[in-house]
Amino acid sequence: MQIALLGGTGDIGEGLALRFAYDTDHDVVIGSREATRAETKAREYETELDSRGVEVEVTGQDNAEAAREADVVVLAVPAYHLADTVDAIADELGEHTVLVTPAVGMKRDEDGFHYNRPGAGSVTALAAEAAPEDVPVVGAFHNLPAGRLANLDADLGIDTAIVGDDADAVDTVTRLTEEIEGLRPVDAGPLANAAEIEAITPLLINVAKNNEKMHDLGVRFQ
Amino acid sequence: MQIALLGGTGDIGEGLALRFAYDTDHDVVIGSREATRAETKAREYETELDSRGVEVEVTGQDNAEAAREADVVVLAVPAYHLADTVDAIADELGEHTVLVTPAVGMKRDEDGFHYNRPGAGSVTALAAEAAPEDVPVVGAFHNLPAGRLANLDADLGIDTAIVGDDADAVDTVTRLTEEIEGLRPVDAGPLANAAEIEAITPLLINVAKNNEKMHDLGVRFQ
């Protein structure tokens, strides 16, 4: 399977790229608005993987090219770039492409971070609205600790809640997630249930800020 | 310390009553709108504790009486009874009483459960608005699995995120929470950060509904 990580040069994108390349046999393509930036990062990831004895090719392309051949396209971009990014790749997507959205909208004030719920109901729903009608959208990877994800020495031991209205697409993302060591996919139902997942991310930041020895947190349902 | 559990006849109230009575040396008082109902439940809890070799007195009173001598008053009532309950006990509260609110507002549709955020910003904020001005309010115990909490054979191994604007009150609730085996308090900052905590409860229900072998879930930040 070919996995395109758009915004794969950013923190969550980097972590997912490294974990998919390290833990699975799937092809990983890094997408960015600038192809050269994607290529540079792809080389960095290859070097990191090579230093751990994993020789794989990681490709870097602009977002549209990265999406073209991909079976799964992960929109690892900030929430405010989500619609633009989907527009830029819309012509490359088909009904067999699964679009995955991990983006969360947050705002910060003197008390801490807060979930910034968009009018669409969730950022995941925003992505679904922006996507071509025949392309299935799945929400996943919303609450991952970027630093630990990108550090292949770090154990995860956490969950990611997955939402989607297309059972096959949810199944594809669930199986991919299971291949990442220490990351457990849990089914949270339809896309309409995304907001409560997204809201966990600002809470994790608040908890990390207010407690010693807790940082770069994920969540586990148990 | 005297802990009053108003709504201590309901599911979360029952679990907290049993855990506080079993794991700590504090006095537990059950409050209900009807004193006789509170007394009946208090006897049930005593019987349950006695069957485990723990001989403690659990008192049952109406809410106002239960709150009168309490150091900590837990409002273990549904969100829609919160303001009424605070009104009914307001004359009994002083600046040294800590008011704890675990209530969450939810709505349900065909997709699942959703967080029903009140205009005040959170149910915790609603409780703070209803409370007399000099009484510190702490949000805690929002995401606890009722069944496991009330089953003293069940391991918890979960967290509860605590919010509050009064450092001493937060400290009191944090220390009490630490005395419950398997329940770790984490500081989530000021009261204004409560909504993201409350939103986890409907998510836990959605996850339990959609995944085999996952039920009566709590949350762990790790």
Q: Please state, in angstroms and rounded to a whole number, the distance separating the CA atoms of residues B42 and B145.
A: 21
Taking the domains of chain A in order of start, what are their residue ranges? 2-210
Give the residue from B108, B207, B213 with the most A CB atoms within 10 Å of its CB, the best one to mutate. Answer: B207
Is B111–A207 a contact, with Cβ atoms under 8 angstroms apart? no
Which residues of chain B neighbour A157 with C-beta distances below 8 Å? 222
The confidence score (pLDDT) of residue A9 equals 84
> What's the gap in Å between the CA of B152 and the closest CA on chain A?
17
Half-sphere exposure of B183 (CA within 13 A, CB side): 30
Share of chain B above pLDDT 90, in %: 97
Residue B9's pLDDT band (boundaries 50, 70, 90)? Answer: confident
What are B40-62's pLDDT values in tens digits? 999 999 999 999 999 999 999 99
pLDDT value at B8 more than 90: no
The pLDDT value recorded for residue A143 is 97
Q: Does domain B2-210 have CATH number 3.40.50.720?
A: yes
Q: What percent of chain A has pLDDT over 90?
A: 97
User: Cβ separation of A197 and B204 shorter than 8 Å?
Assistant: no
Q: Which pLDDT does position A79 carry in this prediction?
A: 94
pLDDT in tens, B164-214: 999 999 999 999 999 999 999 999 999 999 999 999 999 999 999 999 999
Average model confidence (pLDDT) across chain A: 97
A203 → closest Cβ in B114, B158, B196: B196
**How many pairs of residues across A and B have Cβ atoms under 8 Å apart?**
120
* DSSP string of B152-209, one letter each residue: TTS---EEEEEEES-HHHHHHHHHHHHTSTTEEEEE--SGGGHHHHHTHHHHHHHHHH
Nearest chain B residue to A107 by CA: give it: B193
CA distance B13 to A19: 43
Residue B93 pLDDT grade (very low, low, confident, very high; cuts 50, 70, 90): very high
Q: How far is A166 from chain B (nearest CA, A)?
A: 13
User: Do residues A135 and A99 make contact, with C-beta atoms less than 8 angstroms apart?
Assistant: yes
- B193–A111 C-beta distance less than 8 A: yes
Non-local CB neighbours of B1 within 8 Å, separated by 6+ positions: B26, B27, B71, B72, B176
Which ipTM was obtained for this model? 0.95
Task: State residue A94's pLDDT score.
Answer: 83
Q: Tell me, what's the pLDDT at B10?
A: 86
**Contact between residue A1 and residue A25 where contact means Cβ atoms under 8 Å apart:** no
**Cβ-defined contact of A203 to B200 (cutoff 8 Å):** yes
- For residues A124-147, give the mean pLDDT: 97
Over residues A178-205, mean pLDDT: 98
pLDDT in tens, A22-50: 999 999 999 999 999 999 999 999 999 99
